[in-house]
Structure 1
């Protein structure tokens, strides 16, 4: 049998023993690489290329993110998926980096696990190594996070670095790199403007008027409108109910509007649904400059004390019952809109009289520059009706007096209007006219064109007959001022009693508020609302001035914004370059041409606003923003993995080439140790594996174990045959047994040292029967030191890369 087997060759393939003469055996190519795929150099090169590519891609994406060019792309969009009535949202910018990070982690961990499995074999490939650092070193059951620490204990530096790299991959989560934000991008385009602030007064055609007062009434009738769309209602609602501001206005500023259709056509070339544009446009506002009226120190200037016991002025029929003395407001303090005197409204209940307020803005000027008005705020407890004084007191005229049992409190301010304009930059939704933000680019200047024409008549024919058909020009400043201060008495326009001195018409409730304890115009009521309906708050002069100024500006803003179109303009805006008709004729008064020709004399000196301007279309887009901290952290981790990969695949390459096969199955492991009698005998009495934490808690090895070394290569077994595998080695040369005779059917066991064949058999029998194995260990290892004698290189030729 021995002679027959000696003529045959055998090989181990895929864990099985196959004879070369077997027809099923096909010898492998000598150039084939038996090493695991994960540690081959081409796998390392590929992994290195992928890591380097990731760094390059991240660097490019980071640069795009910083410059705002990472937008409107596939990565930015969200994918909405509906499956089985369940809805979910997928974000590619988070999923794709996560998948890449997981792939890198799995790839690197697979490589690390392979190197970790082969480390005990590689450590004894070139030279002997202690058993504790080689055949007893156990990494397979050790978590990757602790493999580096264990490798450091055994001085396996490369494996320690590989374990650190595998641990780093756990922190590599590139999905945290991104954050999606909505940012505005700006695109510049040319824009055409149609309107400018009015420099030409408005022209009104009204026949058969013959005084300036009649002209005043004719113009104001066209301003008032009882509908809820009137600018007076709009301003009051904004101030009292925090309603939205008119288009093309914000705070107290009104901005020259654009034609939304023209703007949309100009922006259509940008292929965007964005509607927010930024451009420069003229802005206009109105404000008040006020001074305090000192009523507190001089009550007689506004309040009259009366004695109801004076039989000349009062009698039992016209005096309030139960009062000896009382007060009433004098003509100046009691003046409401126009020349009307206030006569309302008490706050009388069953429990008595409560607080009542009176608030009006009254024109105190002669309707010429400088204009002025007085804002009054009166708080007290008046009686519920008026009482008529005897006509003998005022030269035969009987006046109705609104009686106050106690002197009321009054504050007042005298104010002058100022209308000013400036260039502004605005951000606006050009379709709705909603102003998002604005910036005044220069110091506001007085809008002198607001006051050029004060109800001027025009005509070439200065005869009295022609005067009946003349036209009227009025600047928007006068129109606003007069309509604001006479609105509370607008009903008098119908009866042509606008300037008729009499008690207020309590049936006229269009532009005022009258009720128990309240009698105010729209402006005073708005200030009361801003003061949270505190009557006493407006007795503070600073508060009164602040609220009056804001109220005046808000009302002017609504006045300027009403009925504006791109063709005809509006009350405050006109088409660019508009002038009065050339055949309008000069300004006349009576039968003479006046020296003051108003806007007619100035219109040829005014430079029109440029029609073309540049605008920026603000387009909100979704962008990916890369966190700088996450970016540099990812780059650092990837750089460390690249360094680890280079070392992992370049160091110890020659050692890995000496491995004839992988060590991934039980059969492959047996192939390394099946002829290693000393190693097998030593391992029977030793504990070398178990839970990963055993190595940290187990006692130190015996001294004789620490002196033992193992090596992988050629060695002689106990019968003197040359083998290849892993075996223990020592410091003394062995005395090999005599080689077996070729012509004998069996090999006679000769005594080796002091151990005979029978003793060996007894030792084996003892081991098999479950006896103490220490005898075997002592017999084989206690009396001898072994050493491997390598015969040249390994039989298996090194594998080229």
Structure 2
């Protein structure tokens, strides 16, 4: 009984374990090292390079069950004929004449069913199923790569910037004559330069080069960005990458899976875009193109160079570009940069006798009310931020001319009218909350979802290079102050100012001695003096997006789409590049809860107080819940093998329970074991009728269904009462008696 109870308990525990494991397996939660560990055997020079202990555990368990059940099966096969005879007289063919020991599993089942030995039949079925169990258990486990999900809380430190960028500048040594009527304007301009100048430092690795390079070489997207959106970075260092040692390199290659860990989290998002509209004056060529005769061209060149310029023979009357385009309209601007009306002299393609197609492209601001040529972005005045941008693209066949020193002089001259396409675009900066899926290791954003409405970031245009009073109460700022000074510039103004001024950041500004475009520097511009290309980095990016086809950008839709993509990408580079001069957190984001309480009062150039803008708290959550999706090796349970094994074990449990319940009654008539041949000889030693019948009929007796035998107490011919096997009835029948009062031992 204890033997069967132990077996039943063991089978029940195995069933529970299988059901629990298959539940976790269906959720892909069996990824702990105990389940997926593989020992490396490659150093032993064996035919197999790895060994997974978990893979043989089910096989070992099934073998134990099979061996255990075989013992029960063997016992019942041996006892079944004697048990049948001990219960009632039984034909020889179903009792003493049969044996189950030599039968196969299926044969034993069929034979037991035919003779209605049902307990043995069920036990034999269990024996057959235990062999199937071994096969199913060996196919139970397999390892597969799978995305495992878990949750963790992360600290969120950054939010979308609404406060201006704080910059410390040094006014020491600024050379001004204070009786100059333009002293205030010059001071404003110098403040602006000190604030924006760091944007152009480290020119070889400057953020302004990122976008043109990215589109030229089809580089991958920046970290923490996707599409037009940039996302406030969240510290992911607390998320530990799972130990990958359980996954060998060979297995990874075989599975064609690269381990990874993705994180889904909520964070702030920011983007910039252009809202563009056509410029009607593009069709009116008189607003941007001036007719010029050869005679007038010659006079212009002489007046400019003070020497005679030899023009090519056969030169026809033509046209030059009007540097101040679309005058007296809402789109008035210049060809090259804000406020610069110097004649454009670059670049030609081909020779004077055979000019080829060339292209000019620049982004410039619209010169609205409040414009000042010497300071295109004043900190005071009527200029409203953000100003509209005119993106323009000119394609034609220009010619240029050289003086006696072989220096190019004069404006570009077109014998045929060039073609212009342009758009007036309003810069817009927007923000939203977003949920992103990001790679834990590379910080590449795979997807994003906006969680709320997109709102304009008005605070991006509040403060234009604003000075702040000194923190020392004994000192006060005015235009005579020399020393360090705190200034504030809103995010959008700093970006737009830096972007539009980049192409002329190294040129003399407003210098009367330069009547023409200064081609002495090529920083933040793209020129091919013999290839006919002259453009700023934004236009060059658009040109790259158009597959270097100048004609493509003459299509308004293409021009606007490429301009928008370019603007978005430059803004992403700006907000995601950590410019140490401004803020280690990037110019697009600020610390949660940041404020300017310790900053002095906003003042103008001479120390008069200005109104400080109000920046309400954004109430950004400092803690967020993130969902981690990691690519791991997971122990997977084959559903067919699992439920087949559970069904077989359930059968074995039921059979064990039946056998345990009936065992005492079923075997109570058996007074001794019959495991050995000696035990059998004892049972037939005094069975004279049975021995005579065996001697008389031989092996044919085994199939006799009429002669019955019984195992019990009988009185032999010698009058002695014994317990054994004897023929019931027949000649000289024995007397069957009750068991003696003293139990036989």
TM-score normalised according to structure 1 size: 0.66
Any idea what SS the aligned residue of 1:54 has? helix
CA, structure 1 residues 669+510, in 2 after alignment: closer, same or farther (shift >3 Å)? farther
Q: Deviations over 1:509-547 (max 9, x none)?
A: 222333436444323333444455566665554444344
Residue in structure 1 matched with residue 148 of structure 2 by the alignment:
183
CA, structure 1 residues 337+643, in 2 after alignment: closer, same or farther (shift >3 Å)? same
Q: Deviations over 1:50-104 (max 9, x none)?
A: 1223334455656777899877574565555676355854445444344323322
The Cα shift of 1:488 comes to: 2.7
CA distance in 2, matches of 1:706, 1:353: 121
The Cα shift of 1:438 comes to: 5.5
Q: How does 1:717-732 map to 2 (within 5 A)?
A: none
CA, structure 1 residues 649+583, in 2 after alignment: closer, same or farther (shift >3 Å)? closer
Q: Deviations over 1:653-674 (max 9, x none)?
A: 4453444665656665666667
Residue in structure 1 matched with residue 612 of structure 2 by the alignment:
601
Q: Do the aligned residues in 2 keep the contact of 1:425 with 1:439 (CA within 8 Å)?
A: yes
Root-mean-square deviation (CA, aligned residues, Å) is 5.3
Q: How does 1:29-178 map to 2 (within 5 A)?
A: 41-58=1-18, 74-75=34-35, 77-80=37-40, 84=44, 88-134=49-95, 139-145=100-106, 147-169=108-130, 170-171=132-133, 172-173=136-137, 176=140
Residue in structure 2 matched with residue 228 of structure 1 by the alignment:
204
Residue in structure 2 matched with residue 735 of structure 1 by the alignment:
731
Q: How does 1:726-765 map to 2 (within 5 A)?
A: 733-736=729-732
Tell me which moved more, 365-374 or 656-665: 656-665
Q: Deviations over 1:211-251 (max 9, x none)?
A: 14454444332321243331112333344435455565554
Q: Deviations over 1:382-440 (max 9, x none)?
A: 36x42599xxxxxxxx95225476x7665433211111233445677899876676654
Is structure 2 residue 431 aligned with structure 1 residue 421?
yes
Residue in structure 1 matched with residue 509 of structure 2 by the alignment:
496
Residue in structure 1 matched with residue 525 of structure 2 by the alignment:
512
CA distance in 2, matches of 1:218, 1:661: 110
CA distance in 2, matches of 1:112, 1:583: 95
CA distance in 1, matches of 2:152, 2:646: 34
CA, structure 1 residues 723+797, in 2 after alignment: closer, same or farther (shift >3 Å)? closer
CA, structure 1 residues 143+466, in 2 after alignment: closer, same or farther (shift >3 Å)? same
Unaligned runs of 5+ in 1: 1-40, 390-397, 689-700, 737-786
Residue in structure 1 matched with residue 493 of structure 2 by the alignment:
478
The Cα shift of 1:305 comes to: 8.0
Residue in structure 2 matched with residue 442 of structure 1 by the alignment:
452
Residue in structure 2 matched with residue 386 of structure 1 by the alignment:
400
Q: Deviations over 1:659-713 (max 9, x none)?
A: 4665656665666667634246545358x8xxxxxxxxxxxx8xxx555555545
Aligned residues: 658
CA, structure 1 residues 246+679, in 2 after alignment: closer, same or farther (shift >3 Å)? same
Match of 2:603 among 586, 589, 595: 586
Q: How does 1:210-609 map to 2 (within 5 A)?
A: 210-211=184-185, 212-243=188-219, 249-256=225-232, 281-293=267-279, 331=323, 332=325, 335-338=335-338, 339=340, 343-345=345-347, 357-366=359-368, 367=377, 368=383, 369-377=385-393, 382=397, 385-386=399-400, 399-403=410-414, 411-424=421-434, 439-456=449-466, 473-492=488-507, 495-497=508-510, 504-515=517-528, 516=531, 518-530=533-545, 538=553, 541-563=556-578, 571-574=587-590, 576-579=593-596, 583=600, 586-588=603-605, 597=610, 600-602=611-613, 605-608=614-617
Any idea what SS the aligned residue of 2:430 has? strand
Q: Do the aligned residues in 1 keep the contact of 2:717 with 2:734 (CA within 8 Å)?
A: no
CA, structure 1 residues 200+325, in 2 after alignment: closer, same or farther (shift >3 Å)? closer
CA, structure 1 residues 661+361, in 2 after alignment: closer, same or farther (shift >3 Å)? farther
The Cα shift of 1:568 comes to: 6.6
CA distance in 1, matches of 2:564, 2:274: 5
CA, structure 1 residues 581+546, in 2 after alignment: closer, same or farther (shift >3 Å)? same
Any idea what SS the aligned residue of 2:205 has? coil
Q: Do the aligned residues in 2 keep the contact of 1:197 with 1:256 (CA within 8 Å)?
A: no
Q: Do the aligned residues in 2 keep the contact of 1:210 with 1:468 (CA within 8 Å)?
A: no
Tell me which moved more, 124-133 or 313-322: 313-322
CA, structure 1 residues 641+360, in 2 after alignment: closer, same or farther (shift >3 Å)? farther
Q: Do the aligned residues in 1 keep the contact of 2:37 with 2:52 (CA within 8 Å)?
A: yes
Residue in structure 2 matched with residue 640 of structure 1 by the alignment:
651
CA, structure 1 residues 510+46, in 2 after alignment: closer, same or farther (shift >3 Å)? same
Q: Do the aligned residues in 2 keep the contact of 1:188 with 1:615 (CA within 8 Å)?
A: yes
Tell me which moved more, 705-714 or 362-371: 705-714
The Cα shift of 1:481 comes to: 0.8
CA distance in 1, matches of 2:314, 2:735: 139
Is structure 2 residue 667 aligned with structure 1 residue 656?
yes
Q: Do the aligned residues in 2 keep the contact of 1:423 with 1:442 (CA within 8 Å)?
A: yes
Q: Do the aligned residues in 2 keep the contact of 1:125 with 1:655 (CA within 8 Å)?
A: no
The Cα shift of 1:452 comes to: 1.7
TM-score normalised according to structure 2 size: 0.70
CA, structure 1 residues 524+194, in 2 after alignment: closer, same or farther (shift >3 Å)? closer
Any idea what SS the aligned residue of 2:184 has? coil
CA distance in 2, matches of 1:645, 1:72: 35
CA, structure 1 residues 431+59, in 2 after alignment: closer, same or farther (shift >3 Å)? closer
Any idea what SS the aligned residue of 1:288 has? strand
Residue in structure 2 matched with residue 684 of structure 1 by the alignment:
699
Q: Do the aligned residues in 1 keep the contact of 2:527 with 2:534 (CA within 8 Å)?
A: yes
Q: Do the aligned residues in 1 keep the contact of 2:344 with 2:411 (CA within 8 Å)?
A: no
Q: Do the aligned residues in 2 keep the contact of 1:657 with 1:798 (CA within 8 Å)?
A: no
Q: Deviations over 1:730-749 (max 9, x none)?
A: xxx4333xxxxxxxxxxxxx
Q: Do the aligned residues in 2 keep the contact of 1:248 with 1:433 (CA within 8 Å)?
A: yes
CA, structure 1 residues 126+577, in 2 after alignment: closer, same or farther (shift >3 Å)? closer
The Cα shift of 1:451 comes to: 1.3
